[in-house]
């Protein structure tokens, strides 16, 4: 069995670790980079680490733990270190067990053996469920694990898939993961954003055209669906396709043939379609904007990417993951997130989902001037955000403006009559007109 040890500064008690040999194949890691490499290359079942801030920022360590859900982590701590609430949290929330220093060889052997057993048990529970990180997806929340299970199932078959979810929830990442786990993984993965191109261009983008098919078509062009031959084509924002393109796509799904613009001959193409949408396609069908037959054809295998606000602790996991990924862009010395920043992230509604989180963390990495990224660095400082009272205030101002405008309209811009109707003096009404920038409405001139 394999064991990795992240050594601490001035470590004592490593004799006890060495005593685990030869039953355990022990690898010593001098720093976080070495441990990270060991996790990828040798996949140890158990990691022993010193919760030693001098060696490694605890936040960074948490990020590493998050990325290796099937490894059992055992903290080696002094009783004093356990007095630090951050150490306590790390141990309680992420570790299988802990040992107090100085190490006792017998107790250590028992603990790592027990952790290895726990690891096997956990692996069996997770059987058939690929860990999100293995797919490039970070997350351990129940909604993400459900998505993973669905992803495994759809990857095993070859039918079209519909991925539905709010913007920035990882639909493309999910599509890539399906492709990577499918029998087509050696073929190409071609992504097209159907909403990003004007209707005139999207036709030839998807299906290609022959030379001279339209003015400006100087040469033949192979469409993206054809380019995905043997692989997967990912059609993002499928709800934006025109009626004509919807029928071409339906034909492709039913007959596996396409026609290039300017040439009526059907061309056989073997490519799997994964479509994505952030809009409710059922609604679009009801309104006649999306073909019902195409919808049913796509909706056979459907996955929903959950909004970030429903992923609980994944928010923190993802933040630490992005922190690690973009760390090199940061000012030196930035070591993690403050507790206030974590709390602000938990409370934020994340309308832009994972993409928004990624952007906020990246920006904070560049902007932060302190050791720990604060809520303000993430743009989530509650003091800087409008408070509820101010929102109410804005609503009152809007209502006031509406009332003034309505009364002026009803009284054909006669200020005297409007003032009477509103129950204020003319002077007050003029003040209100100035306040709301309504003098230009012609009201002031009308008496
Ligand atoms: N679970 C995750 N783990 C790690 N990175 C993620 C995860 N989900 C999304 N991301 C990252 O967030 C960004 C947005 O993801 P992606 O482009 O897949 O979202 P989308 O739902 O397809 O967005 P849109 O609706 O705007 O097309 C990408 O940089 C992606 O790598």
ipTM: 0.98
Least confident of 257-261, 332-336, 362-366: 332-336
- Does residue 399 lie in a domain region? yes
Are 56 and 119 within one domain? yes
CA-proximal residue: ligand 1, atom 29 (nearest)? 355
Supply 83's token pair.
């007095």
- Does residue 282 lie in a domain region? yes
- Does residue 429 lie in a domain region? yes
pLDDT tens-digit series, residues 356-387: 999 999 999 988 888 889 999 999 987 655 44
Report the atom number in ligand 1 closest to the C-alpha of 132. 1
Distances in Å between the alpha carbon of 134 and those of 40, 148, 165, 171, 173? 11, 10, 21, 16, 12
- Packing angle of the helix pair 314-326, 339-347 (nearest 10 deg): 120
CA-proximal residue: ligand 1, atom 2 (nearest)? 137
- pLDDT at position 344 is 94
One-character DSSP codes across 229-264: TTSEEEEESGGG--HHHHHHHHHHHHHSEE--BT--
Please list the alpha-helical segments (H only) found in 162-213.
171-181, 199-207
Report the CATH number that the domain containing residue 31 is assigned in CATH: 3.40.50.2300
Is the distance from CB of 138 to CB of 132 less than 8 angstroms? Answer: yes
What span, in angstroms and rounded, lies between the C-alpha atoms of 145 and 206?
A: 33
Are 295 and 157 within one domain? yes
pLDDT tens-digit series, residues 380-434: 987 655 444 456 777 778 788 888 888 887 887 888 888 888 988 888 888 888 8
What span, in angstroms and rounded, lies between the C-alpha atoms of 49 and 96?
A: 12
pLDDT tens-digit series, residues 228-243: 999 999 999 999 899 9
CA-proximal residue: ligand 1, atom 10 (nearest)? 170
pLDDT-above-90 percentage for the chain = 40
By three-state DSSP, how is residue 325 classified?
helix
- Does residue 378 lie in a domain region? no
CA-proximal residue: ligand 1, atom 15 (nearest)? 170
Distance 274 CA to ligand 1 centre (A): 15
Supply 67's token pair.
């990325």
Task: Assess whether the C-beta atom of 176 lies below 6 angstroms from ligand 1.
Answer: no
By three-state DSSP, how is residue 74 classified?
strand
pTM listed for this prediction: 0.64
pLDDT tens-digit series, residues 207-228: 998 888 787 778 888 999 999 9
Is the distance from CB of 415 to CB of 405 less than 8 angstroms? Answer: no
Report the CATH number that the domain containing residue 427 is assigned in CATH: 1.10.10.60
- pLDDT at position 67 is 64
Place of tokens 């933040």: 319
**If pLDDT is split at 50, 70 and 90, which confidence band does 439 have?**
low
- pLDDT at position 129 is 46
Task: Assess whether the C-beta atom of 355 lies below 6 angstroms from ligand 1.
Answer: yes
- Does residue 382 lie in a domain region? no
| Domain carrying residue 412 | 388-441
Q: Report which of residues 296 and 201 the model is more confident about.
A: 296
Are 251 and 263 within one domain? yes
Is the distance from CB of 275 to CB of 163 less than 8 angstroms? Answer: yes
Task: Assess whether the C-beta atom of 62 lies below 6 angstroms from ligand 1.
Answer: no
CA-proximal residue: ligand 1, atom 12 (nearest)? 355
pLDDT-above-70 percentage for the chain = 90
- pLDDT at position 10 is 59
pLDDT tens-digit series, residues 40-81: 777 899 999 988 777 677 777 777 776 676 789 999 988 888
Distance 169 CA to ligand 1 centre (A): 5
């Amino acid at each position: 069995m394999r064991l990795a040890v992240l050594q601490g500064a001035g470590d004592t008690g490593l004799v006890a670790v060495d005593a685990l040999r030869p039953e355990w194949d022990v690898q010593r890691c001098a720093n976080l980079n070495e441990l990270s490499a060991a996790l990828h290359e040798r996949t140890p079942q158990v990691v022993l680490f010193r919760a030693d801030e001098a060696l490694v920022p605890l936040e960074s360590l948490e990020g590493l733990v998050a990325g290796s859900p099937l490894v059992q982590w055992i903290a080696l701590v002094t009783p004093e270190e356990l007095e630090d609430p951050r150490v306590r949290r790390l141990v309680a929330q992420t570790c299988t067990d802990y040992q107090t220093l100085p190490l006792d060889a017998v107790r250590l052997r028992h603990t790592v053996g027990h952790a290895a057993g726990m690891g096997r048990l956990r692996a069996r529970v997770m059987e058939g469920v690929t860990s999100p990180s293995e797919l490039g997806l970070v997350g351990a929340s129940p909604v993400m694990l459900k998505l993973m299970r669905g992803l495994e199932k759809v990857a095993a078959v070859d039918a079209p898939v519909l991925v539905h979810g709010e913007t920035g929830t990882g639909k493309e990442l999910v599509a890539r993961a399906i492709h990577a786990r499918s029998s087509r993984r050696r073929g190409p993965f071609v992504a097209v954003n159907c909403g990003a191109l004007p209707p005139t261009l999207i036709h030839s983008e998807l299906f290609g055209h022959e030379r001279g098919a339209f003015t400006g078509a100087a040469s033949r062009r192979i469409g993206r669906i054809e380019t995905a031959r043997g692989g997967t084509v990912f059609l993002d924002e499928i709800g934006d396709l025109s009626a004509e393109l919807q029928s071409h796509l339906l034909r492709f799904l039913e007959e596996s043939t396409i026609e290039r613009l300017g040439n009526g001959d059907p061309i056989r193409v073997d490519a799997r379609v994964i479509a994505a949408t952030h809009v409710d396609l059922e609604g679009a069908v009801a309104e006649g904007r999306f073909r019902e037959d195409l919808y049913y054809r796509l909706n056979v295998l459907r996955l929903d990417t959950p909004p970030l606000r429903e992923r609980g602790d994944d928010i923190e996991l993802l933040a630490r993951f992005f922190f690690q990924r973009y760390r090199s862009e940061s000012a030196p010395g930035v070591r993690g997130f403050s507790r206030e920043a974590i709390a602000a992230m938990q409370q934020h509604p994340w309308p832009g989902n994972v993409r928004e989180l990624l952007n906020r963390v990246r920006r904070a990495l560049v902007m932060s001037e302190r050791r720990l990224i604060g809520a303000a660095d993430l743009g989530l400082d509650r003091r800087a955000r409008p408070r509820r009272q101010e929102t109410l205030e804005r609503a009152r101002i809007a209502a006031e403006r509406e009332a003034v405008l309505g009364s002026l309209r009803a009284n054909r811009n006669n200020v005297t009559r409007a003032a009477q109707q509103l129950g204020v003096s003319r002077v007050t009404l003029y003040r209100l007109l100035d306040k709301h920038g309504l003098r230009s409405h012609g009201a002031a001139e009308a008496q």
